[in-house]
Structure 1
Amino acid sequence: MTQAGSGPAAQPARPPVASDGKRWHLEDFTPGQRQHIGEFSLSKEEIIAFARQFDPQVFHTDEEAAKHSSFGGLVASGWHTCSRTMRALCDAFLLEAASGGSPGVQDIAWKKPVLPDQTIRIERETLEIKPSRSKPDRGMVLSELRLTNPAGEVVMTMRSWGMFFRRPQG
């Protein structure tokens, strides 16, 4: 993960695979680290299909009706944005991490609508690390995600804790 202020081009070096078969462990996180997670876009068809199944409000499902909504047009469901963000997190590092899951999201804010075919950029920052007092083989990492649109405007923020195991000894 990149250090704060090291610029957008810098990326964390991938740690070597440990004896548990994982790369990212509790020791690989420090407060202030930043990581570019990835980018995604949602087509009009994807927005409508997701919304019809999971969030069938008219500004997500009906392009014509959405023109008369407070958004003035079709927008992605915040839950769709969250789902794509979770996939990007898995692809970027969670599937290679000694992750023990998450006790939940601390807060989430949808600050601006995500429009069809916008490229959304995802950045992650480590805010805090809490080693476990009762289970020394693990700890908790507080991360903040910031999603921005092509104009650099923040469209979503999310803070959540994740459990990560320490690198195995030996």
Structure 2
Amino acid sequence: MLYFEDLTPGRLFHTASHTLTQDEIIQFARQFDPQPFHTDPVAAKASVFDGLAASGWHTSSLTMRLITASELKEVANGLIGMGIKDMRWPQPTRAGDTLRAEIEVLTGKRSTSQPGFGVVQLRWTTRNQRDEIAMQLETAIWVACRPAA
């Protein structure tokens, strides 16, 4: 198990990778973000993206999936999110892109109102195979402290 005390500033976690297919991009977008540049390769060619692009929400959801399969799946009480700030998608994700994520612990602060818990600030950075940033965000998670021996 990973507890609050294990999530020290500067610690890095890395995920496995996943290569997105055109079918995955279209299927996700049809259900959750049905815009032509996510669902129609022909229409997407005439868009600002100049081709089919995955929804940013797809990139974010895939990142969450990669993180929940990483060492961070061992956080004692689960990855309980408290909020997200500064989410951005500086590069479109495309079919054939292989994404992986790095999670950096930024800060940690024990709760004064609920002993036994702390708040940990994390930065998620999702990169493609060219090492370009596909998504980045900062988030706070609620983490259990190590039980007294």
TM-score interval, smaller chain: over 0.9
- Does structure 1 conserve the Cα–Cα contact (< 8 Å) formed by 2:53 and 2:95? yes
Q: How far is the alpha carbon of 1:94 from its aligned partner?
A: 4.0
Q: Which amino acid aligns with 2:84?
A: V
Residue of structure 2 in register with 1:160 after alignment: 139
1:80-91 to 2 correspondences below 5 Å: 80-91=58-69
User: What is the TM-score normalised by the length of structure 1?
Assistant: 0.83
Residue of structure 2 in register with 1:72 after alignment: 50
Q: Which has the higher strand share?
A: 2
Structure 1: runs of 5+ lacking an equivalent: 1-22
Structure 2: runs of 5+ lacking an equivalent: none
Deviations 1:89-147 (A, max 9, x none): 11113432113611111220011000101111210100110110121201000000111
1:38 aligned to which of 5, 13, 16: 16
User: What is the TM-score normalised by the length of structure 2?
Assistant: 0.94
Pair 1:27-2:5 in alignment = yes
Distance 1:92 1:43 in 2: 22
Distance 1:38 1:99 in 2: 22
- Does structure 2 conserve the Cα–Cα contact (< 8 Å) formed by 1:125 and 1:145? yes
Residue of structure 1 in register with 2:34 after alignment: 56
| Percent identity over paired residues | 43
Residue of structure 2 in register with 1:144 after alignment: 123
Q: How far is the alpha carbon of 1:27 from its aligned partner?
A: 0.7
- Does structure 2 conserve the Cα–Cα contact (< 8 Å) formed by 1:148 and 1:155? yes
Distance 2:82 2:4 in 1: 16
1:115 aligned to which of 86, 94, 100: 94
State the Cα RMSD in Å.
1.2
